Structure 1
Amino acid sequence: MTGMTCLGEEELYLPAGSLLEAVCSPEAGSFDCHDTVVVVAHPDDETIAIGGQLARMEGVRIVHVTDGAPANMKDAQVNGFSRREDYAAARRRELETAVAMAGVKPEACHLIGVPDQSAAYRLAEIASRLAELFSEFRIATVLTHAFEGGHPDHDSTAFAVRAAIHLAGRRGLPLPVVYEFPLYRMKQDQRAFQEFIPGDQVEYAIALDNETVELKRRMLAAHATQQFVLAPFITKTERFRLAAPCDFRELPNNGNVFYAQFNWGLRPSDWADLVEKASRELDLPKWL
C-alpha cells in the first residue's frame, strides 16, 4: 500500500512514537500494534472508521461492545432471521470475513456481546470488562468512538472506554492514550458522516490510496446485512484526533442527537441519569 498520506501533515505536530505518527508516516508501511486496541460498538464500525489502516496495524486487537443484534428483532426479521442469536451470529461471520481481508484473525476480535441498543443500560459492566482487557493485554493505545450523539451504543462505548482507563489507573497501571474517530452526527438539521464536532484538538485526515480504497470497499461489502446502513459512509478518507476530557453527563453536540429521531433503545433525556448511575457505581470523577 503506497501513496497513503496525512492531509495537511506539514502543518501538524505528530508526537514521536505515537500511533498517529505511524499512521501518518509518508512511508505508509506496517507498524507494531500489539499494545493497541480498537473498541467499537457494533460489527462494521471498525471497518467504517479504520478499515483502511487495519492491514498496517500488526497485532492489533478489536473489541466489540455489542453483538450487533437488537433485542426488538426488527433488524433480524428484515434480514430474514427468526432468532436474534442467528442474526448476531451472521454479523459475527461478516465481521470475521471483513477483517480477515486486512489480515486480522478471529482470535484478535474480542466480544463483550451485550445486545445492540442496550449498551447505555450496562455502562458499568462494559467499563469493567474493558478495564480487564486493557490490563490483560497491557494496552497503551485505544481507538474508539467520538462522543457525538449519533447512536446511543457509540456514545456508551466512548464513555465506557474513558471509565475503563480511569479504573485501570486506579490499579496503578499506565494510562492508555485514547484517539477517537467520528462516524455520524447531526449537523444543523442533517446527518454528517465522518466529521468531528469542532473542538480544540488537532484533526488528522488520512487520505487512502486507490489500492486501500478498493480493499476497504470489499471489507464493507462483506457486511452483507448492513449494506443499506453502510451506503452513505466515506471510503477515501479516515479521520482521527486525540480524545479530550469531557463531562459525559451532558449530551454531546449541544443536545442535537441523531438518535432522538428513532427508537434505538434510549431516550436522550435518560442519558444523564444512566451515566450518573454508572459513575456512582464505579466511583468515577465528573470529567473523564
Structure 2
Amino acid sequence: MQFVMKKINTLILIVLQFIKGNETLKKKIEYVRGLYRYPRKMMGSEFPKRYFNEDTDVLVFAAHPDDDVLGLSTTLYRHSLNGRRIKVIFVTNGSGRDGESWTIGVSESKKKSKIRYREAVEALSLINISKENIFCFGYPDGGTQRYLKNMAKDIKMLIEKLNPGRIYVHCIEGGHVDHDMTSFVVKTICNKIGYTNLFEWTEYNPIQSLGAQNVTFLPTQSTVLKEIKIEISEEERILKRKMLACHQSQDVEQFFLQGEAIRQANTSQSEIELFEHCQLPKNKLQPILKDFNKSMKRLQKKSFKTKKYCLSD
C-alpha cells in the first residue's frame, strides 16, 4: 500500500510539473473550474455603470490593487487636487497565491478578489477617486500571460471609449510578470491605435527592492528616456502611508517610503523591453508573443487629440 501511494504521489507531482509549464492547459483548467471564462465570467470583475458618460483626463492601468498607491499615489493626488477626472483600472483581481491562480478554490478566489477591490476603493477615496471610477478586469493574479489577447480587447475598448488625456502604466522591469504583461499590452495597443500621451512608472525590480525611497528606472538597450523624480512632501508621505494602510491584506504600509518616478513611455520598443527584463524564460515568452502579435495585425490606427497637461497638473 505504501508503495502504491508513493507511486501515486510521484505521478501527481509529474502531472503538476507538466501543467506548470503549459499556459494553455492552465487556461483550460481555469475555464473548466469556472474561475475565468472571458468575457462574461471573470473572477472579481468590476465595471461601474455609466462609466462612458464623460471623457477621462487621467487613466491608470495597474496590475494589482495597491500598485497604483505604491508607484503613483502622489502623482494621482496632485492630479486630483487640480480637478482632473481620474479612472483607475486594475487588470488582475489580486487573488493569486504564489502565481498559481489556477489552483485556488473558487470561493477563496472570490473572497480575496472582493477584499482586494474593497481595499482599493477605500484607499483611492482618500484622494477623492470614487468607486464609480475604479474598475477591475478580473484577470488571474500571476496569470496575465495567458490572456494577452483578451486584455488587448479590453484595454483598446476603454482607451477608445474614455478618450483619456493621459495614461499611466507600469514600466517593464522584471519585478512581477503581471506588471510587465500589463505594460506590454498597454504600450502595444497605444502604438497600434496611435495614442501617444502614455507615461510609465517604476516600482520594484531585481535591483530595486519594494519600498526603496530613491527609485529609478532600469537602463534599457532600446532607448534612453528622461525620467521625472517625484518630490514627495511630508504631507504627501503621510497620505501615501494612510492609503497603503487600507490594503491591510497585503501588509504594504511598511513600504510607505516607496519613492515615485515617471517618464513618457516609448511604445515602439515594448517587445524588446519584455525580452530584456521579463521573468518568463525566452523559450516560454516567444510562443506567447507570436500568438499575440498575430492578433495585433488586424488592429487599425486611430488619431487621438490628446489633451496636453503639464506634469504638475
Q: Which one of the candidate residues 275, 287, 291 is aligned to 1:273?
A: 287
Query: After the TM superposition, which residues 139-158 of structure 1 pair with which residues of structure 2 at under 5 Å, given as runs?
Result: 139-158=164-183
Q: For residue 232 of structure 1, report the CA deviation from its aligned partner.
A: 4.4
- Asked whether the equivalents of residues 94 and 113 of structure 2 are also in contact (C-alpha less than 8 Å), the reply is yes
Q: Tell me, which stretches of 5 or more residues in structure 2 are unaligned? A: 1-54, 300-313
Q: What is the SS of the residue equivalent to 1:34? A: coil
Structure 1 length as normaliser, TM-score?
0.72
Give me the whole-angstrom Cα distance separating, in 1, the residues matched to 2:147 and 2:264.
Answer: 26
Percentage of matched positions with identical amino acids: 25
Query: After the TM superposition, which residues 129-140 of structure 1 pair with which residues of structure 2 at under 5 Å, given as runs?
Result: 129-140=154-165
Q: For residue 247 of structure 1, report the CA deviation from its aligned partner.
A: 4.0
- Asked whether the equivalents of residues 39 and 157 of structure 1 are also in contact (C-alpha less than 8 Å), the reply is yes
Q: Which one of the candidate residues 43, 51, 54 is aligned to 2:76?
A: 54
- Asked whether the equivalents of residues 94 and 116 of structure 2 are also in contact (C-alpha less than 8 Å), the reply is yes
Give me the whole-angstrom Cα distance separating, in 2, the residues matched to 1:42 and 1:183.
Answer: 12
CA, structure 1 residues 269+226, in 2 after alignment: closer, same or farther (shift >3 Å)? farther
- Asked whether the equivalents of residues 67 and 115 of structure 1 are also in contact (C-alpha less than 8 Å), the reply is yes
The one-letter code of the counterpart of 2:250 is: Q
CA, structure 1 residues 111+147, in 2 after alignment: closer, same or farther (shift >3 Å)? same
Q: Is it true that 1:101 corresponds to 2:126 in the alignment?
A: yes
CA deviation string 1:88-144 (max 9, x = no partner): 100011000100011100111121111101111111111111111011111231111
Give me the whole-angstrom Cα distance separating, in 1, the residues matched to 2:184 and 2:151.
Answer: 10
Q: Is it true that 1:70 corresponds to 2:96 in the alignment?
A: yes
Report the equivalent of 2:232: 208
Q: When you count helix as a share of all residues, which structure comes out higher?
A: 2
Give me the whole-angstrom Cα distance separating, in 2, the residues matched to 1:55 and 1:232.
Answer: 18
Report the equivalent of 1:6: none
Q: Is it true that 1:243 corresponds to 2:265 in the alignment?
A: yes
- Asked whether the equivalents of residues 126 and 160 of structure 1 are also in contact (C-alpha less than 8 Å), the reply is yes
CA, structure 1 residues 130+96, in 2 after alignment: closer, same or farther (shift >3 Å)? same
Q: Is it true that 1:42 corresponds to 2:56 in the alignment?
A: no
CA deviation string 1:226-277 (max 9, x = no partner): 11x5634634x3100111245444464845x5x4xxxxxx555412321221
Query: After the TM superposition, which residues 110-189 of structure 1 pair with which residues of structure 2 at under 5 Å, given as runs?
Result: 110-169=135-194, 175-187=195-207
The one-letter code of the counterpart of 1:98 is: A
Q: For residue 36 of structure 1, report the CA deviation from its aligned partner.
A: 1.7
- Asked whether the equivalents of residues 134 and 168 of structure 1 are also in contact (C-alpha less than 8 Å), the reply is no
Give me the whole-angstrom Cα distance separating, in 1, the residues matched to 2:152 and 2:101.
Answer: 26
Q: What is the SS of the residue equivalent to 1:69? A: coil
- Number of corresponding residues: 233
Structure 2 length as normaliser, TM-score?
0.67
Give me the whole-angstrom Cα distance separating, in 2, the residues matched to 1:136 and 1:73.
Answer: 30
Give me the whole-angstrom Cα distance separating, in 1, the residues matched to 2:69 and 2:261.
Answer: 13
- Asked whether the equivalents of residues 184 and 274 of structure 2 are also in contact (C-alpha less than 8 Å), the reply is no
Report the equivalent of 1:3: none
RMSD: 2.8
Q: Which one of the candidate residues 195, 214, 229 is aligned to 2:216?
A: 195
- Asked whether the equivalents of residues 237 and 257 of structure 2 are also in contact (C-alpha less than 8 Å), the reply is no
Q: For residue 152 of structure 1, report the CA deviation from its aligned partner.
A: 0.6
The one-letter code of the counterpart of 2:292 is: A
Q: For residue 209 of structure 1, report the CA deviation from its aligned partner.
A: 0.9
- Asked whether the equivalents of residues 203 and 240 of structure 1 are also in contact (C-alpha less than 8 Å), the reply is yes
Question: Who wins on radius of gyration, i.e. which is larger?
Answer: 2
- Asked whether the equivalents of residues 119 and 156 of structure 1 are also in contact (C-alpha less than 8 Å), the reply is yes
Q: For residue 70 of structure 1, report the CA deviation from its aligned partner.
A: 1.8
The one-letter code of the counterpart of 1:177 is: N
CA deviation string 1:45-99 (max 9, x = no partner): 000111112233221111111011127469989xxx9611101100011000100
Give me the whole-angstrom Cα distance separating, in 2, the residues matched to 1:168 and 1:99.
Answer: 29
Give me the whole-angstrom Cα distance separating, in 2, the residues matched to 1:141 and 1:210.
Answer: 27
CA deviation string 1:12-65 (max 9, x = no partner): xxxxxxxxxxxxxxxxxxxxx932201110000000111112233221111111
